[in-house]
Amino acid sequence: MRILFLTHAFNSLTQRLYVELAALGHQLAVEFDINDSVTQEAVALFRPHLILAPYLRRAIPPEIWRQHVCLIVHPGIVGDRGPSALDWAIHHGESEWGVTLLQAEMAMDAGPVWAAATFVMRPAMKSSLYRNEVTEAAVRAVRAALQKLPDYLAGHWRPQQLPLQPMHPLLRQEDRAIDWSRDTTARALTHLRAADGFPGVRDTLFGQPCQLFNAHAYAASGEPGAILGRAGEGVVRATIDGAVWLGHVKRLDTAIKLPCVAAFPEAAALPELTPNVDEIEYCESGEIGYLSFNFYNGAMGTSACERLLAAFAAAKSRPTKVIVLLGGEDFFSNGLDLNRIEAAASPADESWRNINAMDDLCAAIIHTQDRLTVSALRGNAGAGGAYLALAADYVWARRGVVLNPHYKNMGNLYGSEYWRYLLPRRVGEPRAKEIMRRRLPLGATEAVEIGFIDASFGDDWQDFDLTLRARAEAIAHAPNFTAQLAAKQHRRAADEASKPLATYRAEELKQMQRNFFGFDPSYHIARHHFVQKTPASWTPRHLAIHRETSWAIPD
């Protein structure tokens, strides 16, 4: 079937559905929802059997939904209507929530129901629920709806029209506000969780209006509303019965989401408190060391890379046989921290420092000769973060993980992290070129098929965690462990003799230097738009295949 994705952006949910439906053999095209005439043009060119809207901020024009089946992925249970669905669910303390696939009609979220799926709510940030539970439920609902489509088109089945429920209004900043003089930690956290990712909770810090993101409870007390100190890169603020740690903030004057201490120089003067959640954690089980690095949004700035390198070196000083790199909970890694680069006095210089710190980290993993290494991707990885994963000997991913192992979407960035070494040795030179050229997301299953990673397993996070630990144990206790290690050392030595790792790095960095300091400002422009979240004004051609001159509808 031809399926057109009509979406505000090619976000994680859209990408996940894209890889799932591509794997089912459907022909897919994407059109960003820019205006009605552009959408109509896309529909006329692609002539889809189905229009799927995973992430829309506007209504679909009636001329389209009257003539085509348009299914909207609504992040709410059956009967729920209106914007801010997940935000309201968190505010209301729902214990179970879901995703409903509705057919587009004149009234918002009022169309007949094609499919639905539910999940148990977790006390987590909205963005995390969206990337995990909502995404998995959406996949289940879309799969169920697709099975009904042939019967619908043949006139044998009609979706269920439910009685219309009242619609939730948009959750406004007034509803999201925290009253620091009256609110408990639990209430403040509910508001912060429901606003995480976008739009944040509007507040004031150090006299500056800003939006707050990324928070957790902190064991401290003080005068309600007072900033008690800084812990890690966040600040701790008292509530009436405790405190919350505020990790990230977007000042209204700069509009760049940054760690609190980076956004506010005033934070440096605060008393330093012990962080009660560390981004980097190391633990051991038998002869296996597990290193997790839960950087917000998977962004790894210069200091994050340096701290992780030090933690990796410390892990290597331990008497283990295997080191497992776990990445973060929601993202394994998304490479350079583009927000920090954007906020730097010289973004070009900061980009250079950041890529060198990232390369140092990758080199340390590749050069590890006395034990085996594993990258275990619980969450998605993009750009340099995907190649950081490939620096390990084994790469495993949770089945629902989506990889974006390419750089060009960021203003034609060449990329480093030794990808010229790591990629062709796994998939061969022609496919390496193809991956970089296509710039498309790669699902974990397909990534295994082409040899990009070694294995994908685990239907959910817990399942993945249990299995990866069992697999790591199996490696550590394999009868041929010593032989495996010897083979790894032999291969590295042979690779080094054929082309030193330093040469790969120098070649890549020469290209990156052009991207950062050269005449072509594409990378700086693309990064600026990415950080500022500038709405798209056109759909990239690699997604809008119907706009290619070679596009022709198959007979």
Q: Which residues bind ligand COA (CB under 6 A)?
A: 11-12, 127, 197-198, 257, 297-299, 334-339, 380, 382-384, 404, 407, 409-410, 413
Strand extents, DSSP E, 1-154:
2-7, 27-32, 50-53, 70-74, 96-103, 113-120
DSSP conformation class of 300: B
* Between 77 and 444, CB nearer to ligand COA: 444
CB of 98 to ligand COA, least distance (A): 21
Residues in the chain: 555
- Cα 190 off chain centre by: 22
Which of 247/335 has CB closer to ligand COA?
335
CB of 446 to ligand COA, least distance (A): 16
- Closest by CA position to 178, among listed 208, 212, 214: 212
Does residue 238 contact residue 245 with C-beta atoms inside 8 Å? no
- Comparing CA positions, the residue from 487, 317, 259 lying closest to residue 393 is 487
CB of 155 to ligand COA, least distance (A): 37
Q: Within 13 A of 497's CA, how many CA atoms are on the CB side?
A: 6
Residue with token string 């690779």: 495
Backbone angles phi, psi at 498, to 5 degrees: -75, -35
> Which residue number, 65 or 296, has a Cβ lying nearer to ligand COA?
296
Measured from the CB of residue 335, what is the shortest distance to ligand COA in angstroms?
A: 3
The set of residues, in sequence order, having a beta carbon less than 8 Å from that of 15 and lying 6+ positions away, is 402, 404, 441
What distance in Å separates the CA atoms of residue 433 and residue 450, rounded to the nearest whole number?
13
Provide the minimum distance between the beta carbon of 379 and ligand COA in the complex, in angstroms, as a whole number.
9
CA distance 101 to 103: 7
C-alpha–C-alpha distance, residues 506 and 523, integer Å: 20
105/337 with CB nearer ligand COA: 337
Residue 501 CB, shortest distance to ligand COA, in Å, is 19
Q: Which is nearer to ligand COA, 253 or 284 (CB)?
A: 253
Whole-number minimum distance, CB 370 to ligand COA, in Å? 28
**CB-nearer residue toward ligand COA: 254 or 467:** 254
Closest distance to ligand COA from the beta carbon of 12 (Å)? 3
Ordered DSSP codes for 245-269:
EEEEEEETTT--EEEHHHH-GGGGG
The CB-of-337 to ligand COA minimum distance in angstroms stands at 5
- Closer by beta carbon to ligand COA, 111 or else 400: 400
Nearest CB to ligand COA, comparing residues 189 and 243: 189
Given the complex with ligand COA, which of 205 and 358 has the nearer CB atom? Answer: 358
Residue given tokens 């509303």 in the structure block:
225
Lookup result for tokens 């596009």? 551
Q: Return d(Cα 364, Cα 285) in angstroms, integer.
A: 22
Phi, psi (deg, nearest 5) at residue 217: -70, 145
Rounded distance, CA 507 to CA 357, Å? 16
Report, in Å, the least distance between residue 525 CB and ligand COA: 13
Q: Which is nearer to ligand COA, 299 or 392 (CB)?
A: 299
Angle value at C-alpha 338, between 233 and 316, nearest 5 degrees: 60
How far, CA to CA in Å, does 535 sit from each of 29, 53, 71, 199, 255?
19, 17, 23, 15, 15
